Amino acid sequence: METTAFSDLECKFDETDVIVMDTGSGLTKVGYSGYDVPVRVIPTVAFQAEFTRESSFDDSLILETTSGSRASTAETKDAKLYGEDAIHAFVESGGQQASAGERQIIRPVQRGEIIDKDHLEAFWEYTLRQIMRPSKRKLDGAVSLEEFPVLMADTPSSTAVATASNDQLVGVGGNSYTRAWMAEVMFEKFNVPAFAVMNTAALSLFSTGMPTGLAVDIGEGYPL
């Protein structure tokens, strides 16, 4: 009886779709468990862009810079863009990194450390709700983000915590991923049913069916 129960549990686990996300300094990889490749690989960046919304288009946002020429009927608005959209907007703006206080490209993760929690949280929302769109993955359209467990890939040296006094990220081993904060965001903002964090080295070995081994992960920030 115990063997049958375990087999049933294993089968149900295999049938469960899990969103897997690896947020790197340069690129974020996101997809579903069991797939050989990620669904999307997008730059981990944000950008404050300027758009014009023309009255003749309901929801069409057209990228414009301050030097662009548009009809006076166009309404100019600011909007934060993420991933490839942020890169394109940055290039359209002239491609020059602005000084402090001006428009500039934002990298919420640098050298494996969370630098900007607010922008990273917004970037995750863009990734999960806009890029993945889990509600459209099932034919019946009944599955939402809240029904998908999330597995977050993290660096092996990540043991960081946030100080209780000022909530600043304190890194141990050169990394400042705060697992408690990530769990708080996933459960309270995205209402996921389950959340787990595993280091990339272990996940790399598991993907090849090896319980032990040496994994070398060379990212944009530094090799691990």
98 assigned to some structural domain: no
Read off the CATH number of the domain in which 167 is found: 3.30.420.40
pLDDT given at position 67:
38
* 37 and 55 in a common domain: no
Query: Between residues 172 and 95, which one has the greater pLDDT?
Result: 95
Residue 13 confidence (pLDDT) above 70: no
What range does the domain containing 121 cover?
A: 8-42+108-207
Q: Tens of pLDDT along 114-145?
A: 888 899 999 999 998 888 876 555 544 445 77
Residue 1 confidence (pLDDT) above 80: no
Averaged pLDDT for residues 13-39: 84
pLDDT given at position 49:
67
223 assigned to some structural domain: no
Instruction: Quote the number of domains for the chain.
Output: 2
* 176 and 139 in a common domain: yes
Q: Tens of pLDDT along 34-62?
A: 888 888 999 999 987 665 554 333 343 33
* 38 and 52 in a common domain: no
Say what the pTM is: 0.68
- DSSP per-residue codes, the chain: -HHHHHHHHHHHHHHS--EEEEE-SSEEEEEETT-SS-SEEEE--EEEEEEEE-TTSSS-EEE--TT----TTPEEEEEEEETHHHHHHHHHTTS-PPPTTS--EE-SEETTEE--HHHHHHHHHIIIIIII-GGGTSTTS---GGGS-EEEEE-TT--BEE-TTT--EE-SSS---BHHHHHHIIIIIS--S-EEEEEHHHHHHHHTT-SS-----B-SS-B-
Q: Tens of pLDDT along 56-98?
A: 333 433 333 333 434 334 555 567 888 888 888 788 776 555 4
184 assigned to some structural domain: yes
* 123 and 12 in a common domain: yes
Residue 8 confidence (pLDDT) above 60: no
* 146 and 64 in a common domain: no
pLDDT given at position 69:
39
* 118 and 32 in a common domain: yes
Query: Between residues 13 and 80, which one has the greater pLDDT?
Result: 80
213 assigned to some structural domain: no
2 assigned to some structural domain: no
pLDDT given at position 222:
61
* 172 and 120 in a common domain: yes
Averaged pLDDT for residues 97-116: 72
pLDDT given at position 54:
47
Q: Tens of pLDDT along 189-207?
A: 999 999 998 888 888 888 7
| % of the chain surpassing 70 pLDDT | 58
190 assigned to some structural domain: yes
pLDDT given at position 198:
86
* 88 and 134 in a common domain: no
pLDDT given at position 186:
93
101 assigned to some structural domain: no
pLDDT given at position 20:
92
